[in-house]
């Protein structure tokens, strides 16, 4: 995940909690990013009217614009650190994940919303220790059902399940036909708005 994407995740996470007035300095400190990187990430959001930049802060005006902008910029395939196949059910795979794994996509949706709008066969996680993953899930030449994405240094700050925005953006970038079912359902259940 690019560092600018970490900024979008943080902005959307804060806005979801009702905090629509933020400072670049606070984001910079929390994510351990330079102010210029934060400013660079916010620039296109300002241009499209998703945020309003003031002298000492900025206001989130349209969360959906930020979400869709991030979703279209995200390149999930570049973040794949390891993928393999294990002949186990999805539930068994999810239970077998190490504590360092952060669930995203289908599993994260199921855990957050206590629902699965379609059957799914892949487990996507942000994983820290690839060696541990390879021990738990040995390499296989068959179609992967375990996809481990590179973990950025800030993702653990949000817990074992990715943020709603991260889940949405990752689902947006998946090719499986049922990803659309999850996206539609998420758009109905998750109240992200223009304010």
Q: Which of 22, 39, 73 is the last residue of a domain?
A: 73
Whether residue 83 lies inside any domain: the answer is yes
Give the span between the Cα atoms of 155 and 149, in whole angstroms: 12
User: Based on the domain organization, do 103 and 179 belong to the same domain?
Assistant: yes
pLDDT surpasses 50 at 195:
no
Q: Which domain holds residue 12?
A: 3-73
User: Based on the domain organization, do 58 and 97 belong to the same domain?
Assistant: no
Q: What is the rounded average pLDDT of the residues 11-15? A: 96
Q: Which of 21, 51, 73 is the last residue of a domain?
A: 73
Buried b (16+ CB within 10 A) or exposed e, 3-28: bbbbbbbbbbbbbbeeebebebeebb
Q: What is the rounded average pLDDT of the residues 152-159? A: 95
Whether residue 194 lies inside any domain: the answer is no
Whether residue 195 lies inside any domain: the answer is no
**Residue 28 CA, distance from chain mean position:** 19
Contacts with 1 (C-beta within 8 Å, 6 or more apart), sequence order:
74, 79, 149, 150, 152, 155
CATH number at residue 38: 1.10.10.10
Whether residue 67 lies inside any domain: the answer is yes
Res 129: pLDDT: 87
User: Based on the domain organization, do 82 and 66 belong to the same domain?
Assistant: no
User: Based on the domain organization, do 146 and 61 belong to the same domain?
Assistant: no
What percentage of the chain carries pLDDT values higher than 70?
A: 98
Q: How far apart are the first and last CA of the chain?
A: 26
Q: How confident is the model at residue 73 (pLDDT cuts 50, 70, 90)?
A: very high
Q: What is the rounded average pLDDT of the residues 132-137? A: 95
- CA atoms in the 13 A half-sphere facing the CB of 145: 15
User: Based on the domain organization, do 58 and 128 belong to the same domain?
Assistant: no
User: Based on the domain organization, do 100 and 55 belong to the same domain?
Assistant: no
Res 194: pLDDT: 41
Res 36: pLDDT: 95
Whether residue 33 lies inside any domain: the answer is yes
Tens digits of residue pLDDT in 97-132: 999 999 999 999 999 999 999 999 999 999 978 999
User: Based on the domain organization, do 40 and 111 belong to the same domain?
Assistant: no
How many domains does the chain contain in total? Answer: 2
pLDDT surpasses 70 at 193:
no
User: Based on the domain organization, do 41 and 117 belong to the same domain?
Assistant: no
User: Based on the domain organization, do 65 and 118 belong to the same domain?
Assistant: no
User: Based on the domain organization, do 114 and 59 belong to the same domain?
Assistant: no
Q: What is the rounded average pLDDT of the residues 46-50? A: 97
User: Based on the domain organization, do 92 and 35 belong to the same domain?
Assistant: no
Q: Which of 58, 73, 88 is the last residue of a domain?
A: 73
Q: Which of 141-145, 157-161, 189-193 has the lowest mean pLDDT?
A: 189-193
């Amino acid at each position: 995940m690019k560092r600018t994407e970490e900024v979008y995740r943080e902005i959307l996470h804060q806005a979801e909690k009702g905090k629509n007035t933020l400072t670049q300095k606070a984001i910079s400190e929390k994510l351990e990013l330079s102010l210029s990187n934060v400013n660079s990430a916010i620039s296109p959001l300002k241009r499209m009217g998703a945020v309003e930049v003031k002298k000492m802060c900025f206001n989130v005006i349209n969360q959906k614009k930020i979400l869709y902008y991030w979703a279209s910029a995200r390149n999930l395939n570049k973040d794949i650190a390891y993928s393999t196949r294990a002949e186990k059910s999805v539930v068994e795979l999810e239970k077998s994940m190490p504590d360092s794994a952060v669930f995203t996509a289908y599993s994260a949706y199921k855990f957050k919303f206590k629902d699965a709008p379609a059957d799914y066969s892949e487990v996507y996680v942000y994983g820290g220790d690839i060696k541990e993953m390879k021990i738990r899930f040995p390499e296989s030449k068959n179609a992967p059902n375990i996809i481990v994405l590179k973990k950025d240094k800030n993702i653990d700050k949000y817990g074992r399940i990715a943020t709603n925005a991260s889940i949405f953006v990752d689902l947006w970038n998946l090719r499986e036909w049922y990803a659309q079912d999850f996206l539609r359902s998420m758009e109905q259940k998750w109240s992200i708005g223009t304010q």
